[in-house]
Structure 1
Amino acid sequence: MIATRMDAPRNVDFMGAEKSEQMHLARYNNEKPNEVVQNIFNDFKQAQLGPVLAPEWKEMCMSKVVFNAVCNTLCTMFEIQMGQFIAYDGVREMARQLFDEAFDACERAGIYLIESCQEETDSVISISQAYKYHYPSMYQDFSKGRPTEVDYINGYIAKLGRAHDYICKTHEFVVHEVHLAETMRQFK
């Protein structure tokens, strides 16, 4: 979880306090880390980016997708920073509703995330507090008139659910809401 803003090529702003970030690494084929992976890990550690070796790449990736399905999407819909998002008392319930659907879809697909549903919910609170001035990447695209990644985040979770006889109604609705917001940009 490293919050960044890319203002231009080679111009990246890391938002978090030094040594507060964490990033997960996994081999694509779930093999144990080899010398190359260990060297990359060591480089990231030296750069103080908080590397963590994860045993399963798909579970690692989906944990990030599921987190983004809450913070990125909801902040984008309301064009707000994460600190503004967390100011709403209902955030924990909203996050839990989206996480419950995502976890159900993933489990039906045989994907077991590296964090529990409760840990993901708690991380929405702690990350939003830590990065209160951060606009998530989806919002950064949205605000610049670019297509968002909602189809690859909430849309993917909904697609995964449907592929395993489970309908993620909230994720499907949220995808439509973001696309509606994208469409409405033409009227501003």
Structure 2
Amino acid sequence: MIATRMDAPRNVDFMGAEKSEQMHLARYNNEKPNEVVQNIFNFKQAQLGPVLAPEWKGICMSKVVFNAVCNTLCTMFEIQMCQFIAYDGVREMARQLFDEAFDACERAGIYLIESCQEETDSVISISQAYKYHYPSMYQDFSKGRPTEVDYINGYIAKLGRAHDYICKTHEFVVHEVHLAETMRQFK
């Protein structure tokens, strides 16, 4: 979970305070770490807070699920993260999206690295830490590029449907972002 902004090719701005980030590592085949993985993990000079995790899908989906809240909602309203958390209902909105995502993941046998409550709390804490940040989906949206909503909220909805669970909120949010993309032509 490392917030970044890419200003140009090879010009990446790591936005967090030093030593505040975490980089989760796991073997793709979920085997125990071998010497190579252990050496990468021990490379602490990069100060990316390496954490060894037992399973890679949970790492990936934790980031997708977080982005399904912050990226998508900030994009729809064209706001920074500090503006997003100014609304008193953010925790409830986040929890609704997280509940659906966690249910879909659990049915698919994917277990996230944080609990649903920890993900919900992280929306507030990360939004406070990166208050002037526009998420990556908004950065694409504001430049007239297609967003990644189909690969974030859309993927969660697809995962749910594949396991007999309908993520109605995620499906609705996908339509909302695509509606916002369509409306750009009228501005």
Classify the TM-score, shorter chain. Answer: over 0.9
- Please give the TM-score of this superposition, normalised by the length of structure 1: 0.96
TM-score (norm: length of structure 2):
0.97
CA separation in 1, counterparts of 2:78 and 2:172?
Answer: 18
Aligned length: 187
Q: Find the counterpart in structure 2 of residue 152 from structure 1.
A: 151
Q: Percent identity?
A: 98
Task: Indicate the residue corresponding to 1:130 in structure 2.
Answer: 129
Distance (whole Å) between structure 1 residues aligned to residue 25 and residue 139 of structure 2: 25
Cα shift readout 1:54-104 (whole Å, capped 9, x = no counterpart): 110011111111111000110111111111111110000000000010111
- CA drift at 1:40: 2.2
Partners in 2 of 1:166 and 1:23 — Cα distance?
Answer: 31
CA distance in 1, matches of 2:185, 2:30: 45
Q: Structure 2: how far apart are the matches of 1:184 and 1:34?
A: 51
Q: How many Å apart are 1:45 and its aligned residue? A: 2.0
CA distance in 1, matches of 2:90, 2:48: 28
Residue deviations 1:97-123, cap 9 Å, x none?
000101111111111111111011001
1:113-145 deviation line (CA, Å, top 9, x unaligned):
111110110011111111101111111111111
Distance 1:39 1:137 in 2: 31
* Residue ranges of structure 2 left out of the alignment (5+ in a row): none
Once the two structures are superposed, residues 6-31 of structure 1 have per-residue CA deviations (whole angstroms, 9 ceiling, x without a partner) of: 01001111111111111211111111
Quick one: distance in 1 between partners of 2:144 and 2:38? 39
Q: Tell me the CA shift for residue 35 of structure 1.
A: 2.1
Two-structure CA RMSD over aligned residues (Å): 1.0
The residue number in structure 1 matching 2:8 is: 8
Question: 5+ unaligned residues in a row in structure 1: which ranges?
Answer: none
- Distance in 2 between the 1:10 and 1:2 partners? 16
Alpha-carbon distance in 1 for matches of 2:166, 2:65: 16
Determine helix, strand or coil for the equivalent of 1:33: coil
Q: How far has the Cα of 1:38 moved from its partner?
A: 2.1
Question: What whole-Å deviation, never above 9, does each CA across 1:22-52 have from its counterpart, x for those lacking one?
Answer: 121111111111222222223x521111111
